[in-house]
Amino acid sequence: MTQTAPSKRTQVGRLPKRGDYSKETIHGILDAAFLCHVGFVVDGQPFVIPTGYGRDGEILYIHGSAASRMLRNLEKGVDACVTVTLLDGIVLARAAFHHSMNYRSVVMLGTATLVEDAETKREALRIISEQIVPGRWDDVRLPNDQELKATTVLAFPIDEASAKVRTGPPADDEEDYGLDIWAGVLPLSLQPGTLIPDPRLKSGIDVVPTYRVGLQ
Amino acid sequence: MTQTAPSKRTQVGRLPKRGDYSKETIHGILDAAFLCHVGFVVDGQPFVIPTGYGRDGEILYIHGSAASRMLRNLEKGVDACVTVTLLDGIVLARAAFHHSMNYRSVVMLGTATLVEDAETKREALRIISEQIVPGRWDDVRLPNDQELKATTVLAFPIDEASAKVRTGPPADDEEDYGLDIWAGVLPLSLQPGTLIPDPRLKSGIDVVPTYRVGLQ
């Protein structure tokens, strides 16, 4: 890539050809997933916590209980890192050394902002829900005021971000291509199974929804 | 859980009943995955980077290029956090507020140690490889001295760790169970696809391997 990283600290160091700083690539990866890992520091100790998210333009929304340690720390505006990883396959090279993974990842640096306005908060919750299970928001009982109050929503900027992508077959040393070893890629993807009805599902509700869960 | 967390900072705060500090649970989750997210701090800024791993007893091995920024920082012995997350499903409650995910995660705190001894290093690489694609190590060209030198292997202790697990159906408010809304769980799992042979696969190698990729 000839693009420029938005900052020195987001520049992909190892294998810079895998780095990509275009909005198109970054937004594409963020829209294909819904789970991120959030990194923040408390008393010098980093913590990495998984959570769902939703993207709206240049903002990534995350949410959780107002009592969450992670959110209470992040809403102070501490330096944070949000990473999204899609694992696409295992690269089986002829040499152990050249084994790899195919993946798409985005690393975002910045500080979160508390979403206080009730209308923006409701909209952010809708965006998170729609990113995880598109269509579900229209089917459910929406948050009441008490639930909204018990929920913290944070906005994280996507502007200082880098993507890293590996695709394609293994890259072995030239002399190893003659070896009698099978090589190629084992694709991996997060797949939905069969919906499991709640044991307390109300009788008469037998129309099983067909949500397309947003993992690509 | 009535078990005690190994430290205050690993104690599960939100929804403590989901916390589990037993070796059995922690090792079980670590053995069912092979991808972790590593958190470390550079100049006050946390970074979260995905990478593969292998477990051996109370040690988690990670590896990479000796030129990797992450590894060069970690081998200094800085405070780090390694998190492993298995996403098992989306919990579709009747209320938006009670939507959740089923998951198994482990958060480990500690500092990494550089593996310098060549024999231990080779064994660690075998352990990582076997965790990702069991059986592959016996089929490939093993690392030579030069490749071993270009690879950094770090050992991360699993002793200060906590697991967090959610399973089962949604938990709605009692008054919502009467609503005409479908509820249940959409299971999710990382599934292998069909092996894609390397375009440069040597002719005559038509026995496609049947690796069981270690994601459960």
Q: Which residues of B touch A194 (CB under 8 A)?
A: 187
A113 inside domain: yes
Q: Looking at residue B171, what is its pLDDT?
A: 97
Helix (H, G, I), strand (E, B) or coil at A109: strand
Q: Which residues of B touch A214 (CB under 8 A)?
A: none
Residue A164 · residue A88 · CB < 8 Å: no
Mutate to test the interface with B, among A11, A182, A208 (most CBs of B within 10 A): A182
**What span, in angstroms and rounded, lies between the C-alpha atoms of A71 and A65?**
8
Residue B184 · residue A198 · CB < 8 Å: yes
* Predicted ipTM > 0.85: yes
Residue B103 · residue A50 · CB < 8 Å: yes
The answer to whether the CB atoms of B103 and A50 lie below 8 A apart is: yes
Residue B30 Cα distances to A82, A96, A193, B132, B144, angstroms? 22, 22, 23, 12, 29
A183 inside domain: yes
DSSP codes, B129-163: HHHHSTTGGGGSBPP-HHHHHTEEEEEEE-SSEEE
A210 inside domain: no
Q: Looking at residue B9, what is its pLDDT?
A: 86
Q: Looking at residue B60, what is its pLDDT?
A: 98
Taking only Cα atoms into account, the Rg of chain B, rounded to an integer number of angstroms, comes to 21
A198 inside domain: no
Tell me the nearest-neighbour CA distance from B179 into chain A, angstroms: 8
Mutate to test the interface with B, among A12, A34, A104, A198 (most CBs of B within 10 A): A198
Q: Residue B41: enclosing H or E segment and its boundaries?
A: strand B35-42
* Mean pLDDT by groups of 10 residues along chain B of 216 residues: 76 85 96 97 96 98 94 95 98 97 98 96 98 95 97 97 97 97 95 93 80 63
Q: Residue A18 carries which side chain, given as an amino acid letter?
A: R
User: Tokens 């240049």 sit at which residue?
Assistant: A58
Q: Which of B139, B37, B6, B172 is nearest to A36 (CA)?
A: B37
Taking only Cα atoms into account, the Rg of chain A, rounded to an integer number of angstroms, comes to 21
Determine how many CB atoms are found less than 10 A away from the CB of residue A140.
22
B91 inside domain: yes
Residue A177 · residue B190 · CB < 8 Å: no
Dig out the tokens for A111 from the structure.
């500080």
B83 inside domain: yes
Dig out the tokens for B55 from the structure.
């477990």
| Number of domains observed in the structure of chain A | 1
Dig out the tokens for A125 from the structure.
């919750």
Q: Which residues of A touch B197 (CB under 8 A)?
A: 182-184
Tell me the nearest-neighbour CA distance from A123 into chain B, angstroms: 13
Tell me the nearest-neighbour CA distance from B204 into chain A, angstroms: 8
The answer to whether the CB atoms of A49 and B139 lie below 8 A apart is: no
Provide the residue-wise pLDDT of chain A in tens; the chain has 216 residues. Answer: 446 889 888 888 878 888 899 999 999 999 999 999 999 999 999 999 999 999 999 999 999 999 999 999 999 999 999 999 999 999 999 999 999 999 999 999 999 999 999 999 999 999 999 999 999 999 999 999 999 999 999 999 999 999 999 999 999 999 999 999 999 999 999 999 999 999 999 998 876 677 777 555
A182 inside domain: yes
CATH number at residue B38: 2.30.110.10
Dig out the tokens for B186 from the structure.
């959409």
Q: Looking at residue B216, what is its pLDDT?
A: 53
Q: How many CA atoms lie within 13 A of B58 on its CB side?
A: 8
Dig out the tokens for B202 from the structure.
């040597």
Determine how many CB atoms are found less than 10 A away from the CB of residue A120.
14
The answer to whether the CB atoms of A9 and B42 lie below 8 A apart is: yes
A40 inside domain: yes
Tell me the nearest-neighbour CA distance from B71 into chain A, angstroms: 11
**What span, in angstroms and rounded, lies between the C-alpha atoms of B93 and B172?**
6
Domain extent at residue B78: 14-168
Q: Looking at residue B215, what is its pLDDT?
A: 55
